[in-house]
Chain A
Amino acid sequence: MDQQFTLTKEVRGECLIVTTSGYINNVGGEAIASECGAHFANGIQDVILNLEYSKVVNSIGMSYIIEIIERLQETGGTLVFTNLDAAVEKMLSIMGLFKYARKEATVADALSALGRKGVGHESR
């Protein structure tokens, strides 16, 4: 079955920017976690998760995102959500994720916010 989930990534300094498209379910969540996991070993400190093209997230997808947050907490890193659809934002809020992760309007805002704590912005 075509899940229609796609993911693109970009590394800026110690920050990984992941942009998703489609349903964040088991498949989508695992893909995000796997991508982040691969970069943690390379010294990635922060993750920006751009959900502009993902309007639906289920709890399995969310459990993977929580794992990423926990992993970042271990190393003092931060997860920043950006471009959130109102329904997704409310969902993340109810699930309590904003206690441990941030949200910004855009990726540029997130980079700027993370920049204040010393994240480089140059492309790798």
Chain B
Amino acid sequence: MLQETTQDLLCARIAMLQKATHALTRALTLKDFGAQFAGVVQEMFSPVDVHVLFRPEGSVWWQPLMSGNAESGGGALPPVTDEPTPECVVRELPSGVAVSQRLSDGAAFRFYCIRDSAMTGDADLDVITLRLLAYFFDTSYHELQTRKKRKELVFSLNHRLLQLNSLIDTGIEVTKLEARESPQRLALERAAALTNASAGRVRVLRGDLLREEVCFPEGANVAPGWVTKSRIEAEFVFGEETYQFELYNKESRDGVEQFDATDHLLLDALVRQVHASLENRYLHTQALEKQRLEQDLLVAASIQEKILPAKLPDIPGYDIAGINIPSKSVGGDYYDCIPLADGRCALIMADVAGKGIPAALLVSSLHAYLRAYLESGIPLVDLVRRLNQVIYTASTDDKFITAFVAILTPETGTIESVSAGHNPVYCMRADGTVQELNAGGIALGMLEMDFPYQGEITVIDKGEGVLLYTDGIPEAADATMELYESHVPLKEFLLQHRHLSARQFIAGLIHDIRSFTGNAPQNDDITALYVVRSR
């Protein structure tokens, strides 16, 4: 009868264990596990109290998983000095029983069943049950650990995938950022998140001068003196600035740990992406600026092409030739020969300070006003004075025009001229001398005041001529920056070649300049107008 009762009790307890297995193996944490296990013991033995202790592998300290029920107040536990072994040890105590066992992973557990009387009255059955409970704890714990490891492995694999994905995404995103957005801020956020850093900082330094500081999380205090338990950094130099990235305090569920090799790789990779992004932005800006300049030059060249004479007029009794060779950056040289209604002819040579569209537009203005005033028949000095006023109004402070304006009366060879701050015009005489024509005044548009200009009149005879030019000729430089004027004074060249036709003279002059400058780049426009009286 007693045997049947014992068997029934044992079967009932086994059934309880089987029932509890499901709940125990689904515990999320070790703490939950301990609580569930204590519940099983409680249900089985109805003791006064149950305590469950756990000792991690390598530790000497027991940590409570379940510290008794609230009613008992979880009093002091009886001392047990047995070292747990792989075999379950059941130790009888005056106030109950203690069960210890080493677990399969080296950790250990111990539980106390505190009682005020014998559990069942069958000590052997109790011991068997307690051993079964210990076995149950071990297998369920093993299941819990396996599940935990599997979850950690999946989490770790997903996290690696996330790191790789985020690295690629960040690379794409930093290239898409608007110029006003900071790639270093985005990279810092991503680096902190991917490495589990508590905080991070980017500092942009020019020498010792701090030009920018970005902290993550925003407002994080990472000032000197802040305690860092772990830290990694990476930096690069772009232009004159050094970009320093720092990450602080790698987080774990157990506190701060050291950054690992993967963290270094991630930070380095993200920092390289920022570097590449900044370089790309710079190159893109440069390309846009170059494109804008090229467009600018095309427009300027187009304006200049329309203004410069495609063909010089035929003036009976005169041989005339001109040339304009613009430098790479289109400038503001201008020349023309304009037949007037009364049979006279205007000769113009001008040079605008500056290059590009602004200079071309100013030349365009000069061209338009000049033609209008020439047709009005006003005296030449008044014409130049008016030009000064309108050019002053049309130009910015740094823009002005040097100009030489002359009116040739072909029948008499009379030349009336005014120079507005321009190079002297050379008048080549039949006797082998050169006269300079330079009466005039200030450059056009230089001063607002109604500045008086002075004119001069000269007459050229058969075989004599005038050479109008811009400073691109005397200031043409060779590779050593020696000027053409110091090599061959223009006056001398004029005298030496005065027997040539106008076209031959211009061609010879250009050839001589090119021979002198060689492969040196042309820094300024070269413009000349040569008029020789042939009869």
Interface residues of A (CB under 8 A from B): 1-5, 22-23, 25-26, 55-60, 63, 66-67, 70-71, 74, 87, 90-91, 94-96
Indicate which residue in B28, B159, B162, B192 contacts A56 across the interface (CB closer than 8 Å): B192
Q: Within the assembled complex, what's the spacing in Å between the Cα atoms of A113 and B64?
A: 42
B159-204 with Cβ < 8 A to chain A: 159, 161-162, 165-166, 169, 189, 192-194, 196-199
Contact A95 B218 (CB under 8 A): no
Task: Please pick, from A3, A60, A94, A96, the residue contacting B196 in the complex, using a CB distance under 8 A.
Answer: A60
- Shortest CB distance A59–B (Å): 5
Chain A: minimal CB distance from B335 (Å):
63
Interface CB pairs A-B, < 8 A, 28: A1-B198, A1-B199, A1-B226, A2-B219, A2-B220, A3-B217, A4-B220, A5-B217, A23-B216, A23-B217, A25-B198, A26-B196, A26-B198, A26-B253, A56-B192, A56-B193, A58-B194, A59-B155, A59-B159, A60-B251, A63-B155, A63-B253, A67-B28, A70-B28, A87-B166, A94-B161, A95-B155, A96-B158
A9-B31 Cα distance, complex, nearest whole Å: 27
- Residue of B at shortest CB range from A74? B26
Interface size class of B (residues with CB under 8 A): 20 to 34
**In contact, A87 and B169 (Cβ under 8 angstroms):** yes
List residues of chain B with CB within 8 A of the CB of A60. 196, 251-253
* Contact of B72 with A by CB under 8 A: no
- Taking the closest CB of chain A, its distance from the CB of B399, in whole angstroms, is 51
The 4 closest A-B pairs by CB, nearest first: A26-B251, A4-B217, A23-B217, A58-B193
Residues in A whose Cβ lies below 8 Å from that of B216: 23, 56
Residues of A within 8 A of B154 (CB): 96
A55–B222 alpha-carbon span in the complex (Å)? 21
Residues of A within 8 A of B192 (CB): 23, 56, 58
The smallest C-beta distance from A57 to any residue of chain B, in angstroms, reads 7
List chain B positions with a Cβ less than 8 A from chain A. Answer: 26, 28, 154-155, 158-159, 161-162, 165-166, 169, 189, 192-194, 196-199, 216-222, 226, 251-253
In the bound complex, residues from chain B placing their C-beta under 8 Å from that of A2 are 217, 219-221
Chain A residues contacting B251 (CB-CB under 8 Å) are 25-26, 58, 60
Closest to B199 in A: A1
User: How close is A19's CB to chain B, nearest CB, in angstroms?
Assistant: 17
Docked-complex contact A91 and B226, CB < 8 angstroms:
no
Do the beta carbons of B159 and A95 come within 8 Å of each other? yes
User: When A59-B196, A94-B161 are in contact, do A1 and B221 touch as well, CB less than 8 Å?
Assistant: yes
Contact partners of A1 in chain B: CB under 8 A = 198-199, 220-222, 226
**Shortest Cβ gap from A30 to chain B (Å):** 9
Find the B residue at minimum CB distance from A55. Answer: B189
Of B162, B192, B197, B222, the most chain A CB neighbours within 10 A belong to: B162
Could you tell me if B196 and A58 are in contact, using CB atoms closer than 8 angstroms? yes
Q: Which of B26, B194, B218, B251 has the most CB of A within 10 A?
A: B251
Across-interface contacts of A5 in B (CB, < 8 A):
217
Q: Which residues of A contact B253 (CB under 8 A)?
A: 26, 60, 63
Q: How far is the CB of A65 from chain B (nearest CB, A)?
A: 12
* Residue in A closest to B188 when the chains form the complex, CB atoms: A56
Q: Are B252 and A4 in contact (CB under 8 A)?
A: no
Contact between chains at B162 and A94 (CB < 8 Å): yes
Which residues of B are found within 8 Å of A91, using beta-carbon distances? 162, 166
The answer to whether A94 touches B26, judged by C-beta atoms less than 8 angstroms apart, is no
Nearest CB of chain B from residue A8's CB, rounded to whole Å? 18
B196 with A25: CB separation less than 8 A: yes
Question: What is the CA–CA distance of A13 and B166 in the complex, to the nearest angstrom?
Answer: 38
A74-B220 Cα distance, complex, nearest whole Å: 38
Please give, as numbers and ranges, the residues of chain B lying within 8 Å of A59 by CB-CB distance. Answer: 155, 159, 162, 196
